[in-house]
Chains A and B, each alone.
Chain A
């Protein structure tokens, strides 16, 4: 972001005026290509706050552990703001206790791809406009930012934060390089026959180590007992076998149907580089097509699978 000082100023204001007791944002990471979530409770500390392409988490996830009556400021990109809306609709937080500072986003960078593109060990990485400037073994290496944006951000069409208390910065309609039309993994997947799709799915899940980083990074996964941890009945085994692991991925995707805010935090959290966004993208597309529902688009509408009305069509029997 070009002028993040305005955001820091606003964070300091709401803290010193005691509108909130905590501001959640990002701060510089300990190594290149990384950022850490920041929990700021004093206006003196707002200078730590940053926002760049290495801020790979969805900050709304940290609202799970906070008490609902705590007043919290959150620095929100579009996907974070959608998550807050979705969590509010599901009664997981009290919107009136939050102060959302909306900010534009130029897309999150794929740090592993940058790492692999570097000619050696990276000692520093900085974004400058449409470039990424690396220092590699004392030498400068420049990369095109456009080529290193994660798939979920490349496909993003809802870049304006929703339901925020203040928007700082201008959301450019084509801020992210949509001129990069190379198909994403998910695009290629969708074009294949069902046999090939199953093979690709099994190949992806084959290296899953059941660390549940995807689940823990997801703002919409907040169950106090996840189905995989349920013993009786045993929904999914904890062994790293194809059966158990595939069940894990499929059922988590189904539990996200119409709820996933398409932030991609799951894929970015995965240490084994497993694709999974393509599953929830498809289910969300179905929700839009069949029920006209899009998560985060409305402040009050319940996700179709969370609610029942008398005029629901019973598609399974008619």
Chain B
């Protein structure tokens, strides 16, 4: 597929053209930093290379709270507003990868989640690679990288005066077919930037070995030690772009059935009606989180469930660092 170019001073014009047929979601300034918002003025877009959004863009396809249907007198009606075609512009490869991973949960044809599927089929993801891995990022050690391609329809490499666009799907190719083609010098420069983004002291983690050693440690007391400072809040799971657990409740006053994000880090997550809790302490819950990310995902899909985005590392109120925890348990490095 032919790479294309958007000169930096032509970006706004190009986006305004897209806005005629698509809704645009892109990173914009917010009180907590950067957040993915619906953009009507391309000037609002923030492509700060050192910062990702705090709130993960999985919320675009799996909203934190979503009305599933309304019910009355024994029958139900589906929500009315069908999403328009959307372009998600400016996602980072770690987040695009997270959408690709969550597609295996919500978007498999034989097991389709209609709420996810309807939004997903109408969305194009244009991601932008990172010239340098961010402070707490470790995407390149968990099977991805700052120019990872999974989940994206188009991947942008930022050059000095232009954006270099690599289409990755036919939908992406179609969107940018009328743009000028990149020349050899630009392609060469893009490759150099992509190569230069790899951090020299990061090595890909041995995910299979990590999985095995996690299983070996399952019944040992190490989980209690590493979870001692865990507060049991939901920061890591809610900010994680691949955590997808949800809770379904009926808001009877509004006759709505609602799906909300849930977190295995809360004590009540696994609390049973009898009062029994199969994960009674932080040790079991922390074990569950780490095993899910680095063992069960590997078992089920052959890839790590963690994309190395680093949000949990940056935002955990007690600086529990999942890289350190995995290394403590397995003696294997995961930068």
A31 to B239, CA, bound (A): 18
A240 contacts B by Cβ under 8 Å: yes
| B105 contacts chain A at the CB level, 8 A cutoff | no
> How far apart are the CA atoms of A269 and B32 in the complex, in Å?
13
- Indicate if the CB atoms of B268 and A271 lie closer than 8 Å: no
Contact check, A30 vs B317: say whether CB atoms are below 8 A apart.
no
Given contacts A29-B319, A31-B321, A238-B247, contact A61 B313 (CB under 8 A): no
* A254 → chain B closest CB, angstroms: 21
A271 cross-chain contacts in B, Cβ below 8 A: 32, 54, 235, 239, 315
Given A30-B324, A239-B258, A217-B65 contact (CB < 8 Å): no
Instruction: Point out the residues of chain B lying under 8 angstroms from A62, CB to CB.
Output: 228-229
Whether a CB of chain A sits under 8 angstroms from the CB of B270 is no
Interface string of B292-335 (1 = CB under 8 A from A): 00000000000000000000011101111101100000000000
- Are B54 and A30 in contact (CB-based, < 8 A)? no
Task: For A37, list chain B residues within 8 Å (CB).
Answer: 228-229, 318
Q: Judge whether A31 and B313 touch: CB under 8 Å.
A: yes
The majority secondary structure among interface residues of chain B is loop
Q: Is the CB of A209 within 8 A of B232?
A: no
Contacts of B238 in A (CB 8 A): 209, 211
B50–A121 touching, CB < 8 Å: yes
Interface status of B70 (Cβ within 8 A of chain A)? no
Taking a contact as CB atoms closer than 8 A, the residue among A30, A34, A39, A56 that contacts B228 in the complex is A39
Segment from B132-140, B184-192, B215-223 that makes contact with A: B132-140
B30 within 8 A of A: yes
Chain A residue with the shortest CB-CB distance to B313: A31
Tell me if A269 and B233 are in contact (CB < 8 A).
Answer: yes
Q: Which of B14-47 contact A (CB under 8 A)?
A: 30-33, 35
* Given A30-B319, A240-B64, A269-B30 contact (CB < 8 Å): no
B65 contacts A239, C-beta separation under 8 Å: yes
Within 8 A of B (CB), among A198-238: 203, 207, 209-213, 215-217, 229, 237-238
CB atoms of A36 and B231 under 8 A apart: no
Q: Which of A126-141 contact B (CB under 8 A)?
A: none
**Size bracket, chain A contacts:** 35 or more
Contact code string B154-176 (vs A, CB < 8 Å = 1, else 0): 00000000000000000000000
The answer to whether A121 touches B320, judged by C-beta atoms less than 8 angstroms apart, is no
- B136's partner among A31, A203, A240 (CB-CB below 8 A) is A31
B234 at the interface (CB under 8 A from A): yes
Interfacial chain A residues near B263, Cβ < 8 Å: 211
State which of A35, A61, A112, A237 has its C-beta within 8 Å of the C-beta of B231: A61
Asked whether A268 is an interface residue with its Cβ less than 8 Å from the other chain, the reply is: yes
Across the A-B interface, give the 9 residue pairs with the lowest CB-CB distance, nearest first: A269-B317, A216-B231, A211-B234, A213-B233, A239-B65, A37-B229, A34-B319, A30-B321, A216-B233
- 18 CB contacts below 8 A, A to B, read A29-B319, A36-B319, A37-B229, A57-B317, A61-B231, A62-B228, A121-B134, A121-B135, A209-B234, A209-B238, A211-B234, A213-B235, A216-B233, A217-B233, A238-B260, A239-B65, A269-B235, A272-B31
Q: 20 other contacts beyond A31-B321, A203-B31, A216-B231, with CB at 8 A cut-off?
A: A29-B321, A30-B319, A30-B323, A30-B324, A31-B319, A35-B319, A37-B229, A56-B317, A112-B33, A207-B30, A211-B235, A212-B233, A213-B317, A238-B247, A238-B249, A239-B65, A240-B64, A269-B231, A271-B235, A272-B55
